Structure 1
Amino acid sequence: MRLERDLLRQYDLSLLFAIDPTDGAVQRTRVAGLPEGSDTEAGFLREDVQEALVAYAIYIATNYEPEYLAVGVEINMLRARAPGQFVGFLKAYAKVYDAVKSIRPETKVFPTFQLEDLLGRLTQEHPPQWGAIDAFQGRIDALAFSTYPYLSSSIRLVREIPEDYYTQLRERYIGEILISEAGYASASIEGHSWVGSEREQEEFLKMLLEQAEANGFSTVVWGAERDPAQSRQGGAAVLNDVGLRYSDGSDKLAWAVWQEWARRPLPVPAEGN
């Protein structure tokens, strides 16, 4: 842990640490990693599960000293698919937030949301569920989203992404906004509608970075530097080609875009900030 902190200071970096207690394999409808024989139906409603989450968050805040601490990843998916579990998670989250703030008030604490799912463009079609954000009112220090627009059934090409796709986030939240995870596949996959190519991936990355800058987002995190060495199977196969480089380390077109933006000088903070 000391090594990580030293490297962050050496390279003047900020640490974003995400605590992900839900099971992505089942669309985040249950707690992940419970001991065998545990009551998985109770999940976040269990007091011991809530307290375990609090204890882990305190450990991370104390030992890693993150600038950003995400507690709950793509948590709107839990709300939409297991509302009872979401109620339990909210109770646990409130405890975590208060505990972390009591020992490290400068750490920004927040959940992350899955944008395509929140907009009703993923596996469930529905009006935008902005209420998922409102549920954290008073205990959310930044607004963070993951975004994989190619997984939307209504988007086949980058040019089909609506113009207000990311600007609407700024309209909903005046504080700090982060893209906590983003991706776009550089290849198509059988059984899915998107048209994947290196050129499409490059076009999306340019668009995302330009939109982030125009709307004052503080951070953009890409989901993977490289494609996995071994292709994922099943539902996870849709993420096989989101890397900006191939598994052997050779570059895709989008890698040059990422390098160009990463090398730009940081903006000078306004006076008083």
Structure 2
Amino acid sequence: IDALNGLNRRDFIGLPAGWEASFANPKVRASYKNYALWVVRQFRPRYLGLASEINTYMDAHPDDAPNFISLYNEIYAAVKTEAPDTQIFVTFQWEDLNNLFGQNEAGHEKGTINWDEVEAFEPNLDLWVISSYPFGVFKSGAEIPADYYAPLLTRTSKPLAVAEGGYTSKPVGPFNGAPEDQVAYLNAIHNQIGSRLTFWVYLLLNDFNLDSYAKVMKQQGQGNDVGTLGMFASVGLRGFDGTPKPALELWDSFRTGK
């Protein structure tokens, strides 16, 4: 469940005309809570994510961060009353949490981990969940440090998960990428935190045709996000035509335990 733009989580998307884009807005809060409870009642999910990569929004809008945290805690309590076994979380963008991107609204030192943004949701995180796209900060998959994800193991005893992520198999914009980088990315996660993962979602099975998406996005007023979406066009484990890339065999071996 997410009120933010998936290609720019610093902004809301799809709000009715005239609504203030803030988690302090009573209309936003009521709608968010009501929808979350509808999802729970309709589907009885095992896992329920209440925001994606929320730390990027918290960095950009620190004054609104407490409002979202209070809304999260309110929804957490309401869901647990109706579905106590549902595991509830938000996700954190790992590269941003490590202050590795060029933009740094909060002025934190590069490479330091903003644990305060994660722990602000405690004790109401049932698991710690990240997204990770390291091609945005490393020149190759081989450059991913051997302890890149490992700090999660000692910072919390709770289950871990990867809700989304991937590595481009082709150069895109300013970023490098090759099929072997995808293999290195998968191995980095598997070797460093695989034993603690409750679930792991890779972003795409197949690459996609950006031109098809661009046409629709422009019609919907999201033309400015086409370039961002293009960064992920070659993240798939298979080509656009379904041809497997080397990383697919490795991914399947992790899934089957072989």
Is the TM value for this pair above 0.5?
A: yes
Summarize deviations over 1:63-114 as a string: whole Å, max 9, x none: 1111110101000111111112222211211111011000000001111100
Three-state SS of the structure 1 residue aligned to 2:9 is coil
What TM-score do you get using the length of structure 2 for normalisation?
A: 0.87
Task: Give the counterpart letter for 2:11 in structure 1.
Answer: R
> 2:10 — aligned with what?
29
Answer yes or no: is 1:206 the counterpart of 2:187. Answer: yes
Q: 8 Å contact 1:209–1:220 — kept in the other structure?
A: no
Summarize deviations over 1:187-221 as a string: whole Å, max 9, x none: 0023x1x331111112221232222324x222211
Structure 2 residue ranges without an equivalent (≥5) = 215-225
> 2:256 — aligned with what?
263
Greater RCO, CA 8 A, separation 6+: 2
Equivalences for 1:1-273 in 2 at 5 Å?
Answer: 19-25=1-7, 27-40=8-21, 43-125=22-104, 126=108, 127-152=112-137, 155-190=138-173, 192=174, 194-214=175-195, 216-231=196-211, 233-264=226-257
Task: Give the counterpart letter for 1:200 in structure 2.
Answer: D
Three-state SS of the structure 2 residue aligned to 1:128 is coil
Q: 8 Å contact 1:184–1:204 — kept in the other structure?
A: yes
- For 1:123 and 1:63, the matched residues in 2 are separated by 41
- For 1:250 and 1:29, the matched residues in 2 are separated by 35
Task: Give the counterpart letter for 2:255 in structure 1.
Answer: A
Summarize deviations over 1:119-153 as a string: whole Å, max 9, x none: 0012335332111011101211100000011111x
Structure 1 residue ranges without an equivalent (≥5) = 1-18, 266-273
Q: CA shift at 1:256, angstroms?
A: 1.0
Summarize deviations over 1:149-181 as a string: whole Å, max 9, x none: 1111xx101221122111101111111100111
Three-state SS of the structure 2 residue aligned to 1:45 is coil
Aligned-residue sequence identity (percent) comes to 30
Q: 8 Å contact 2:147–2:192 — kept in the other structure?
A: no
- For 1:171 and 1:205, the matched residues in 2 are separated by 21
Three-state SS of the structure 2 residue aligned to 1:246 is coil
- For 1:139 and 1:212, the matched residues in 2 are separated by 22
Q: 8 Å contact 2:146–2:188 — kept in the other structure?
A: no
- For 2:202 and 2:131, the matched residues in 1 are separated by 9
Q: 8 Å contact 1:185–1:201 — kept in the other structure?
A: yes
What TM-score do you get using the length of structure 1 for normalisation?
A: 0.83
Alignment RMSD (CA, Å): 1.6
Q: 8 Å contact 2:170–2:178 — kept in the other structure?
A: yes
